[in-house]
Structure 1
Amino acid sequence: MFKLILVAIDGSEIGHRALEEALAVARSMKAALHAVHVVQTETYPTLMLNELEPPDLARQAVLDSLEREADEILAEAERQAAASGVRMTVHKRRGHPGAEITALAQELNADLTVIGSHGRGRIDRFILGSVSSYVVDHATSTVMVVRS
């Protein structure tokens, strides 16, 4: 029996599927549900910079954009949870996604962590490594990996 579930969401299709699975488990077990989106801060300092802008300004523009996107993803997840009758608490973290997800799961004392099998695309997996593998390897809770 799970009492507290953490679901990692990233705005991808597989992230939506992970949320749907987490909502179904939370509803059936009457568990508390938390969702987390991690703004990856260490990967983007040079990948998306406009050469016309000073590097610090360009980096900040990218980070601001990622923060806005995170807020939108979390707001949509809250709407989806409310529509399905599940109360959900959202968290926005910054840093390495795998490390932040596992750290939050530990802080919350989550019984179950739900995550998609991969993120937004092959390039992200190549650049970032496999977040789901990291979570499986480092989580102290049970992990459900949702496939597409």
Structure 2
Amino acid sequence: MMRETRSGGCLCGAVRYEVAWPPLGVSACHCTHCQKQSGSAFSIIARVPREALEVTGILTDFYDTGESGSPVIRRFCAKCGSPLISEIQQEPLDSFFFIKTGTLDDTSSVVPTSHWWTSRAQDWFKFPDGAVIMDRQ
């Protein structure tokens, strides 16, 4: 499969990134931590190998413990606070970055095929037909 690159960044433009595309997967995480971090019902994330992402600019890290009990580093623009990247520090997920897909310059073809932590999903949300549904992650 031929890989292209996509670019993205934060709201103010202080942080920019290039990422190999397509990602290994696109998911919607419904855990309460992603809900609070995104200010929405879920967070749409793309899983990419660490070596596939190149970031410029200053990020601020927030150290969290996910609902799974695993350490999570949530990375934000130091200037405007836009959430950009999450890192899960548990094998085998620690070899990947999870980028917030809303920060891509081109969001075409970004469709989540799996939904994580559906046990925490908002009551009003209807899961798409054919999507992989995981009660937890």
Q: Same fold (TM over 0.5)?
A: no
Structure with the bigger percentage of helix:
1
Which one scores higher on RCO, CA 8 angstroms, separation ≥ 6?
A: 1
TM-score normalized with structure 1 length = 0.29
Please report the TM-score for the alignment, with normalisation by the length of structure 2.
Answer: 0.30
Q: Which has the higher strand share?
A: 2
Which structure has the larger Rg?
1
